[in-house]
Structure 1
Amino acid sequence: MNKILTVSKILPRGFSTAKSCYAVCYPKPDYGPMEVQRSELMNGIRVAAAKPGGSYMAACTIMFQAGSRYEIDDQIGANHFLRATASCTGCAYTAYAKNRHLQQQGASLTCSSDRQTISFTLRCPPTCYPDLKYYLLDAATRCCFAPWEIDDRKTLIKEDLQRIPPEQRVMDLLQQAMWAGPLSNSIFCVEERIDAMTDDALNCFVKTNFRTDVCTVASIGVPFEETLKLAEKIESRRERPSPRCEMISCARGGFEFHDLGRCSDTWIALGITGCGTCDISTLIKYSIIAAACGVGNVSMGQHAMDNTPQPPLGMMVGADPYTEYRAFNISYSNTGIFGLLAKAHAGLASSVAVAAAEFLANVGDLTFKQIDIGKKRLIMNMTLNEDNCILSSESLALQLANNVHLDNCGISIGLIDSTSNDDICCLAKKIAAMSPCMAVAVVGDVGAVPHDRFLVCGT
């Protein structure tokens, strides 16, 4: 549900890490370099269409820079409701008609959002796109927000709050601990706000933030002319709206927690100020450092215990198979978060938190060999499962939003390989110097984890 804006999201199709959307019985298509066509309408909407070779499915994304950071006053929680109501009745089609027809055609319509963006994506066979594109337009820009449908979704949203995985909860809390300002807004609607949400609040949020100058339309496997026609139907006016006023968020280095009770498994997240997607060269450096630290486990079998942690973070696990460490990098338009995420049993939570804080304080000691390994990991992760058309379409939309042109894997790999190890080491030392200002979030046995001040003193 939370779409993290890492370098693997902004780089082009072929650089996703989700599972493949193809059945095993089909041969994997041979994707070559994409042919990408781009344009910009007079009202500010940016359009791009990529033509991969051998695509079995097509995807089209309408993306707005209208994430939860743009919610104010009685709009707090609007993004959660927009995700929940994406399949509801629109101005042209009922919810039943849309969902039934999409299923009959083997298509899907998804909505995802984070603190920066909200995306509506249609996935369908290329031959069905001319008929199904109106469902995408209806869901993204013409939702009615009928009061009775909003009331029906309130129960679902309350259940969503109970189903939040601990790992996602701790990352959400970390960003509340990290920022003072709009970026501290959660991607979930707090329980106290659910019953108070109205159709007027949702319509006001959409009218204020679903603007043409922050809208991008991208497609994979759809002709450019068809993509352009869809973009022209979003807004008939040709003039560009005046610039939107945006509130600034400031890093505060706070401490947030969610107690799951004594002796429960505990997740600890530590973060410092990172880089935004507006600076692609620096974003790549942050991503290389995260990959060099270790971004996950290497799968060795079919079971959770068959994973080998990536060094050097993996070396801190020791003999405990239940303890995990990994680095992450989250980016928004103008800023971001770089940090570490750790999981452990309650008995080891204190030592694991201290070890993670010490590693963050010494991340500047990465060697050239570890950085080179990080580059290889990043390239490998970004080239896995290149046939996921939904992520590819959203990736292209993010490129448009950030004025980045990376049409094929060769360009992106070249940028990674050409990044100087000396520059990466300098940035790693800068990250280490900022560790005393880190933010901390804990989910689990809160009493077993030292307060952030003690963690900072320990480093």
Structure 2
Amino acid sequence: MSVSGKMSLPLLRAVSVRSFSAQSKPAPAASASHAGFVSTVLSNKTFVATNDNGATSARISIAYKAGSRYEPSNELGLTHVLRSAAGLSTTGSSSFAIIRNLQQLGANLTATVDRETIVYTLEASKAHLEDAVKFLNDVASRQTFRPWELPEALNRVKYEISGLAPQVRCLDLLHKAAYRRGLGNSIFCAPRQVGKISPESLQHYIAENYTAGRCAVAGYGLPLDRVVAIAQTLSLPEGSGKPDTPSPYKSGEMRKEMGGDLAHVAIAVEGASLANPKEALALAILSRAVASGPQVKWGADNSVLGKVIASEAPGSPFAANGFNLSYSDSGIFGILISAPGDSAGKVVQAAGKMIKSGIASIGADALKKGRAQLTTEILSAQDTGSILVDSLAIQGLLTGTMKKPSEIADEINKMTDSDITNVAGKISRGKVSMGAAGALSTVPYIDEI
């Protein structure tokens, strides 16, 4: 059985988003005759990529290596405030001008933050792109934080904190337990930190992290020379900013008793980083083979983990999803569970057993299903411009290169069962971490799993 609607959040990347202005008309699916993935690196070390596919609308993403892992330890939550401040007045445009003009142009501008990146994405019709890009440039590279405008962003931060889904809190706690600092930094500002981050702190953070060498620009429906021209107009200092600090996996446990009827638990081990793409891809397949939830609305969970839980905790409703999050220098592989508080203990024990001893013996049929599901997700992203353009920018930023969805799909299909089970055996011997939120009275501690 599944807990309706409790596991619908995407787990490919845990992100926080601010969007404003009008939504542009979605681009139609591109024909193969127009498809063209190309990339280059500018002389200032900015990575540029595009998919020139003949779409009638265009998208531009500007990404910086400036996610929450880079926050100073005494100013945690800074990137949440920074993302919420997107659209405030800049050195080139007032807040009113940005919002009003984007609305008039039918454009949409979104700011997204995860643990490693901040991405600004513009969607607009090609007829209005030239006018809309000016405001993308302002928002992404000409920030100025005026003390009398910042409270507007802080009100938004408070609202978002108050509405966080318990599954999101659970994953946040898992990262804190697993990494402590760096990748353990939350992408959300703690309530006690709201109002304590000054405009000067925001400006200093941008000066350190919004540099040409820490930037990637990606396009969708645009030729490479047009995207290069946009990248060259950004007002960015040269260089790569301060050196990155590694964030090693430590292992641990964090729990937040929140009451309610449900317990939400994430159990994980260290996975693979983006520096090891073959292992990262194998674990992405494995996450879908282990637990992907019901594939038919209101249907039963017939995944490997679903069957294990059904036998270990018969009659208990639950929802379970596997996840694999790969970062530039580490990764985390695990299972996210939601279940009624009074029966969550048995469900969590079953999931813990799967992580520690079951994933290395996943059968061929489950792995075949995992490959098929991941292939569909990757190829579907090619038809969704907003997902693809962000992916191109983040790939370039974190790996220095770009892979087409079709190339990734080919790599998935070439992955053998032994490739996947070998990686599964390797990570199953690692230290377990856990994050839990909700009604936790029956949820076992990590040393009891």
The alignment's TM-score, normalised by the length of structure 1, stands at 0.88
Matches of 2:87 and 2:408, distance apart in 1: 35
Q: CA deviation at 1:92?
A: 1.0
Which residue number corresponds to residue 383 of structure 1?
A: 379
Cα contact 2:70–2:182 (8 A) shared by 1? yes
After the TM superposition, which residues 203-282 of structure 1 pair with which residues of structure 2 at under 5 Å, given as runs? Answer: 203-235=203-235, 241=239, 244-261=242-259, 264-282=261-279
Q: CA deviation at 1:28?
A: 5.0
Cα contact 2:210–2:236 (8 A) shared by 1? no
Fraction of identical pairs, as percent = 25
CA-atom RMSD, angstroms? 2.4
Change (3 A) 1:136 1:183: same
Matches of 2:215 and 2:381, distance apart in 1: 27
Cα contact 1:48–1:218 (8 A) shared by 2? yes
Q: CA deviation at 1:392?
A: 1.1
Which residue number corresponds to residue 116 of structure 2?
A: 116
Matches of 2:194 and 2:347, distance apart in 1: 36
2:436 to 442, 448, 451: 442
SS in 2 for 1:189: coil
Matches of 1:386 and 1:220, distance apart in 2: 10
Letter in 1 for 2:379: T
SS in 1 for 2:45: coil
Matches of 1:235 and 1:211, distance apart in 2: 9
**Uncovered stretches (5+) of structure 1, i.e. residues with no partner:** 10-19, 301-305
After the TM superposition, which residues 55-134 of structure 1 pair with which residues of structure 2 at under 5 Å, given as runs? Answer: 55-134=55-134
Offset from partner CA, 1:250-272 (integer Å, 9 cap, x none):
222211122222x5211010011
Cα contact 1:66–1:209 (8 A) shared by 2? yes
Change (3 A) 1:327 1:427: same
How many residues are aligned here? Answer: 429
Change (3 A) 1:5 1:372: closer
Higher mean alpha-carbon deviation, 70-79 vs 174-183, is at 70-79
Letter in 2 for 1:255: E
**Uncovered stretches (5+) of structure 2, i.e. residues with no partner:** 1-8, 16-22
Letter in 2 for 1:70: Y
Change (3 A) 1:307 1:88: farther
Higher relative contact order (CA 8 A, sep 6+): 1
Change (3 A) 1:29 1:173: same
Which residue number corresponds to residue 360 of structure 2?
A: 364
SS in 2 for 1:138: helix
Which residue number corresponds to residue 194 of structure 2?
A: 194
Change (3 A) 1:236 1:158: closer
Cα contact 1:67–1:117 (8 A) shared by 2? yes
Which residue number corresponds to residue 306 of structure 2?
A: 314
Matches of 1:138 and 1:242, distance apart in 2: 21
SS in 2 for 1:340: strand
SS in 1 for 2:349: helix
SS in 2 for 1:354: helix
Matches of 2:34 and 2:174, distance apart in 1: 38
Which residue number corresponds to residue 406 of structure 1?
A: 403
Cα contact 1:276–1:333 (8 A) shared by 2? yes
Cα contact 1:257–1:442 (8 A) shared by 2? yes
SS in 2 for 1:429: helix
Query: Structure 1 residue runs of 4+, over 6 Å off?
Result: 20-23
Structure 2 residue 437 is matched with structure 1 residue 421: no
Matches of 1:299 and 1:321, distance apart in 2: 20
Q: CA deviation at 1:385?
A: 5.5
Offset from partner CA, 1:334-377 (integer Å, 9 cap, x none):
11100011110111111111111011112111122321221111
Cα contact 1:295–1:327 (8 A) shared by 2? yes
Structure 2 residue 350 is matched with structure 1 residue 355: yes
Matches of 1:299 and 1:383, distance apart in 2: 20
Higher mean alpha-carbon deviation, 172-181 vs 365-374, is at 365-374
Offset from partner CA, 1:210-249 (integer Å, 9 cap, x none):
1211100000012322211111122476xx5266322222
Higher mean alpha-carbon deviation, 190-199 vs 398-407, is at 398-407
Q: CA deviation at 1:185?
A: 0.7
The alignment's TM-score, normalised by the length of structure 2, stands at 0.90
Which residue number corresponds to residue 295 of structure 2?
A: 298
Matches of 1:283 and 1:388, distance apart in 2: 23
Matches of 1:277 and 1:33, distance apart in 2: 30
SS in 1 for 2:383: coil
Offset from partner CA, 1:138-193 (integer Å, 9 cap, x none):
10111111111112222221121110011111111110011132111110111111
Letter in 2 for 1:378: L
Matches of 2:71 and 2:118, distance apart in 1: 12
Letter in 2 for 1:174: L
Q: CA deviation at 1:21?
A: 8.9
Letter in 2 for 1:154: L
Cα contact 1:61–1:394 (8 A) shared by 2? yes
